Amino acid sequence: MRNVTQPAFADHAADDTRVLRALAVLEQLAAAGQPFTLSQLAARLHIPKATLARMIDSLEAQGYVAHMPDSRGTDRGIALGPRAAQLALATLSNNTFTRACRSLLRALVETLGESCNLTALDGDTVLYIERVETAEPLRLHMQPGMRVPLHCTASGKLFLAHLPAAERRLVLSRLSLKRMTHRTLTEQGLLEAELDRLAARGIGIDNEEFVRGMVAIAVPVVDAASGRVLAALAAHAPTARANLNDLLEAVPRMRETALKLAPLIQAPDAAMMRARGAGGGNAVVLNGQ
């Protein structure tokens, strides 16, 4: 009997190892700020390259990982794929996380009188994770799952400002600095200078750079232990109701809320947030105009 059943037990153990290794790959990519080469990923995970290559092929076939240029632009780097992003959004739809997050955002909206949202860095875009709208009829309509540009939004500029210099230059070099309004910074040198100023202030600012007639500010949600930026908390307002200085006065209160959001994002129910969510469209509508 032992000779019959032992191979089955061995097969189960091997399956468990493969599953755990696959999850380790996804976790490593989720925590990364840029794609990894196969060699880099193998070294970090202590998995033989040949074994890892087969695993990556399987994960890519299922949409959990994808290939793109790495930091040197010469090899195909490995990053999270769309199916991992869909899993992340489903995880973030967990009622416990959603209720707690929306409760904090709602309290902030009631205090500021303007829409507030939680965003994550998703590759070269900003992903809306959660949002609570103001009751005012004139507002920027967005919803979880939508993506917006990095270079002209408060959250996007905050994420860029907090990147290491070399990584920031790499990201900017591959971004299309599309002009969204007459205020959009489309010259890389000017944008880098702006990001340096924002990094010193620890905030992100959108002064009608994404949507004409709309201003926004963002503060980081930070991992207290590592200092890593987990997400961004942003507030938006139409210039017909508030100006940028009005929003800047809200920064202390926003930082208080960001401190309360951090442990929610680090909790098990939201652990996949770093994998970035997916879904939703890109349409932006300024209601009332």
151 and 74, same structural domain?
no
The CATH number linked to 32 is 1.10.10.10
Residues 221 and 273 in one domain: yes
Reported as type and span, the H/E element at residue 77 is strand 76-80
Residue 10 pLDDT class (50, 70, 90 cuts): very low
Name the DSSP letter for residue 243.
-
Domain residue limits at 155: 84-287
For the cut 60, the answer to whether the pLDDT of residue 133 exceeds it is yes
Residue 131 makes CB contacts below 8 A (sequence gap 6+) with 105, 115, 116, 117, 118, 142, 143, 144
**pLDDT at res. 274:** 37
Distance CA 118, CA 151 (A): 17
Beta-sheet strand order (sheet of 125-132): 147-149, 125-132, 115-122, 229-238, 214-222, 204-207
d(CA 35, CA 14) in angstroms, rounded, equals 28
- How far CA 121 is from CA of 74, 101, 237, 244, 272, in Å, comes to 24, 18, 22, 23, 13
Tokens representing residue 248 in the block: 């800047």
22 with 62, same domain: the answer is yes
Residues 58 and 102 in one domain: no
Among candidate residues 80, 101, 118, the one where a domain is terminated: 80
Greater confidence, 148 or 228? 148
User: According to the model, what pLDDT value does residue 55 have?
Assistant: 92
Question: Any residues with CB less than 8 A from the CB of 221 and at least 6 apart, and which?
Answer: 118, 229, 230, 231, 232, 233, 258, 261, 262, 265
Say how many domains are in the chain.
2
Tokens of 207: 């002064």
- E strands, 178-242, are 204-207, 214-222, 229-238
Domain boundary among 30, 54, 80: 80
Query: Where a domain ends, among 61, 80, 99?
Result: 80
Per-residue pLDDT tens over the stretch 160-217:
999 888 889 888 988 999 999 999 999 999 999 999 999 999 999 999 999 999 999 9
Report the DSSP beta bridge partners of residue 215: 207, 237
Cα end-to-end span (Å), the chain: 76
| Element containing residue 65 per DSSP (H, E) | strand 65-69
- Is a pLDDT exceeding 70 seen at residue 38? yes
Which of 134, 95, 96, 219 has its CA nearest to residue 142?
A: 134
pLDDT on residue 16: 64
Both tokens of 131, joined, read: 């949002």
Q: Are 216 and 250 in contact (CB under 8 A)?
A: no
At 74, the pLDDT band (50, 70, 90 cuts) reads low
- For residues 161 and 185, state if they share a domain: yes
Predicted pLDDT at 100: 87
